[in-house]
Structure 1
């Protein structure tokens, strides 16, 4: 049975939830899922495919993601590897913000990172207002008010398009 390594950089857990959904769609593949921030050395040759998922916070991917990629870039370049980012801007599907071409975050990633994944995805995340500390709650509410999003801080709203995630899973399986 082919084996895949899923790595995630997530703050509230939506990225990991998306990886779990992808894993469910890959019934003919053994998947190991690890928090990218707690992994030191990885033997990528043990895996047939690699998938990295990372979330955006205040317009940026975690700097540790870039450090991880630099440490393992040679192995990632050789692997059948994909990458996706999770952000709230991707909820604007009608504006193309949920595509690699239309995502400012993917464009920034491709400039900042020396790794060029074979497959790239962009998914809308989730708003978990009740889980945020006061500062984050107010900052995210301000950003959402500027971008036409949910501002009721008592709500949790999931924007992830699960059909789109399933399609990405199929593309990942075909790598």
Structure 2
């Protein structure tokens, strides 16, 4: 089975939580997985497959992800590879696929690398853990998009069954 680099970039821990679930699924299918924060960086040369996950913050994926992609594009193109985005827009049923999610579509349009597999998952919303600035920005965005604005809201929008299906698809891609 494949030796896989699972690189992730998040802010409040939910991207890591999703990445850990994907790692566990891949390992249960016989893959060896190294989970690495994007800020720490890694060299994909020693891996058979690469999967990158990134959360949205203030409307953008972490710049470290695109820097990694630009630096290692040739290696990413030569291996089984995938990308998944975590964002609150994906809480909506009509925005929870790579084809319909505006952040995933924007990422693919901007990225010089075209992943062989794409995924998108709803994130979690916990106003109490955000800084005052982030809390107000997110509440405003939620107001615009008709989401929850109560500052006591704590809700998880991740479809864990879809995370599992995505991980299994990636396991098959990496093994091929």
- TM-score (norm. length: structure 2): 0.92
Any stretches of 5+ residues in structure 2 without a counterpart? Answer: none
Counterpart in 1 of 2:87? 87
Deviations 1:80-105 (A, max 9, x none): 11000000000001x2x111110111
Question: What RMSD in Å do the two structures reach over aligned CA positions?
Answer: 1.2
Q: Summarize deviations over 1:92-140 as a string: whole Å, max 9, x none.
A: 01x2x11111011122111211000000001100112111111111111
**Alpha-carbon distance, 1:16 to partner:** 1.0
**Does the 8 A contact of 2:23 with 2:35 survive in 1?**
no
Structure 1 distance, partners of 2:25, 2:111, is 28
Q: Secondary structure of 2:39's partner? A: helix
Runs of 4+ in 1 over 4 A off after TM superposition: none
Q: Tell me the residue number matched to 1:154.
A: 152
Q: CA–CA distance in 2 between the matches of 1:64 and 1:145?
A: 29
Deviation at 1:170, TM superposition (A): 0.8
| Deviation at residue 155 of structure 1 after TM alignment | 2.6
Matched, 1:5 2:5: yes
- Where does the alignment leave 5 or more consecutive residues of structure 1 unmatched? none
Partner of 1:34: 36
Aligned to 1:56: 56
TM-score when scaled to structure 1? 0.93
- Say if 2:128 and 2:151, in contact at 8 Å, map to a contact too: yes
Aligned partner of residue 68 in structure 1, secondary structure: helix
Q: How many residues align?
A: 171
